[in-house]
Amino acid sequence: MPDYLSVTSLTKYLKLKFDRDPYLERVYLTGQVSNFRKRPSHQYFSLKDEKAVIQATMWAGVYKKLGFELEEGMKINVIGRVQLYEPSGSYSIVIEKAEPDGIGALALQFEQLKKKLAEAGYFDDRHKQPLPQFAKKIGVITSPSGAVIRDIITTVSRRFPGVEILLFPTKVQGEGSAQEVAANIAAANQRGDLDLLIVGRGGGSIEDLWAFNEEIVVQAIFESRLPVISSVGHETDTTLADFVADRRAATPTAAAELATPVTKVDIVAWIAERQSRAYQALQRTISYRQERLDKLRSSVIFRQPERLYDGYVQKLDRLTTSMVTRLESQLSGAKQAQALLNQRLWAVDLKAKIGHYQERLAVQERLLKSNMTSQYDSKVSRFEKAQDALLSLDTSRIIKRGYAMVQKNDKVVASTKDIEKGDKISVLMRDGRLEVEVNDVRQENI
């Protein structure tokens, strides 16, 4: 009987072969990306050519350092190891390094990031700031030992002496350079004495200039409050910093010329021109004023000044005459009205009216006195009746008529129900008081 192997045993044997095979330990493979869907951490996809497909795995750490984005259909060159996955019995390549086929990784990363930032509007002209015409203090972000800063200082000093240049010593190449460039741009914007920023470095390869293609640097330039001139590399070199900056200069000298668009010679000439124009304008004004003064001096008004007020004197006379006439007319009307009122007043017999009102007053007084007497008598009668009624209720008068009043504890007893056998009571009589002890209480229905 032949010996049968289990699936697990066979798979383990094949995995051991895969792991020990030196040709599978480091494989250089080229293929087209297929079935790619970006995942949060590890990436799983396929590599294929015209006749075969192999599964591919890229761990999160490798993918993070890739430098470009994988895309469906992209042809790439990879280095990795082939392994067998026991649970499914499938084999795959674990990618340790990858780069685009036919184009450098940095070049691809440059194009991908440029497209992303352009779509986000970072390079739009509407975000570009105008450069100041007269910058008093210019910030320069570059290496302190390069030729960039020397060229800028020389050009600015020649074109416009007196402009202050502030250097931000910056690492412009290698690891950490992008972060340092971005940090110094932010630091320059926190100051309040700068008018303009120049960001630059000398020429080099795409690797040398790569710090100025990093998204962190593009973001810092885009957010800069200060206008930024980018001068990175030579004239043929182009970085993303050039696209986002407010202006791009091919060389440091060109950047310094952009920062000082007006030279000291231009200023002196401009001042001389303005001075000449102001002098000519003043001369024209003086001549015009002199001519007007001469005309005023020769005017008839100055030779016969009374003409200025003749018309006003005549107008005053007319107004005075008109006012007197109106006042006389009003006074005459008032006198006529007064005479009419006097006639109406004399026509009224005041004595007869006064006598009539006096008679009415006397009648009213008599009626008032009569009503008061009647009211008084009525009130007195009601009072006497009320007094008699109150006196009839006086207990002392009742007792004087021969009746007696019983009290218990200084309170009047009105019913036998309020007295019990043995109670001590007082009996008030007309001529004295009896203190009595009750021996018997009998109640009768009345």
Angle between helical axes of 105-119 and 215-222 (0-180°, round to 10): 30
Output the pLDDT for position 302.
Answer: 67
Q: In this model, does residue 215 exceed pLDDT 60?
A: yes
User: End-to-end distance of the chain based on CA atoms, in angstroms?
Assistant: 142
Predicted confidence at residue 190, as pLDDT, reads 93
pLDDT in tens, 359-397: 888 889 888 888 888 888 888 888 888 887 777 666 767
Task: Tell which residue, 259, 268, 269, has the closest CA to residue 156.
Answer: 259
Mean pLDDT confidence for 48-66: 87
More confident residue, 264 or 37: 37
Percent with pLDDT over 90 in the chain: 12
Query: Given a cut of 70, is residue 124 above it in pLDDT?
Result: yes
How many Cβ atoms are within 10 Å of 379's Cβ, its own excluded?
A: 10
Instruction: Round the CA-based radius of gyration of the chain to a whole number and report it.
Output: 63
The mean pLDDT of 157-184, rounded to a whole number, is 89
pLDDT at 206: 73
Query: Quick one: average pLDDT of 47-63?
Result: 87
Mean pLDDT of 330-357: 80
- Range with the poorest average pLDDT among 175-184, 220-229, 250-259: 250-259
pLDDT at residue 166 in the model: 92
pTM score over 0.75: no
Indicate whether 180 pLDDT > 70: yes
Q: Which residue has the higher pLDDT, 407 or 189?
A: 189
CB–CB of 207/107 below 8 Å? no
pLDDT at 17: 82
Give CA angle at 230 (224, 236), nearest 5°.
150
| CA distances from residue 334 to 328, 338, 341, 347 in whole angstroms, order as listed | 10, 6, 11, 20
pLDDT at 219: 92
Confidence of residue 307 (pLDDT cuts 50, 70, 90): low
pLDDT-derived band at 261 (thresholds 50, 70, 90) equals: confident
Least-confidence region, from 73-77, 215-219, 220-224? 73-77
Q: What is the mean pLDDT of residues 333-353?
A: 79
Is the confidence at residue 400, as pLDDT, over 80?
A: no
Can you give the pLDDT at residue 239? 86
Fold that domain 111-122+132-262 belongs to in CATH: Rossmann fold (3.40.50)
Please tell me the predicted confidence (pLDDT) of residue 300.
66
**Pairing relation of β-strands 432-437 and 137-142?**
unpaired
Which fold, 7-102?
OB fold (Dihydrolipoamide Acetyltransferase, E2P) (2.40.50)
**Residues 73-94, mean pLDDT to the nearest whole number:** 85
Confidence band for 104, pLDDT divided at 50, 70 and 90: low
Higher-scoring residue by pLDDT: 283, 18: 283
7: Cβ contacts below 8 Å, ≥ 6 apart: 89
Q: What pLDDT is recorded for position 102? A: 61
Q: Which of 289-298, 375-384, 394-403, 415-424 has the highest mean pLDDT?
A: 375-384
In eight-state DSSP terms, residue 2 is: P
pLDDT at 413 over 90: no
Token pair 């440091």 in the structure block, residue: 252
- Return d(Cα 438, Cα 341) in angstroms, integer: 101
| pLDDT single digits (tens) 188-202 | 999 889 999 999 888
Q: What is the pLDDT of residue 301?
A: 67
Give percent of the chain with pLDDT exceeding 70. 92
Mean pLDDT over the full length of the chain: 83
Q: Is residue 187's pLDDT more than 90?
A: yes
As a whole number, mean pLDDT of residues 98-105 equals: 70
Indicate the pLDDT class of residue 146, thresholds 50, 70 and 90.
confident
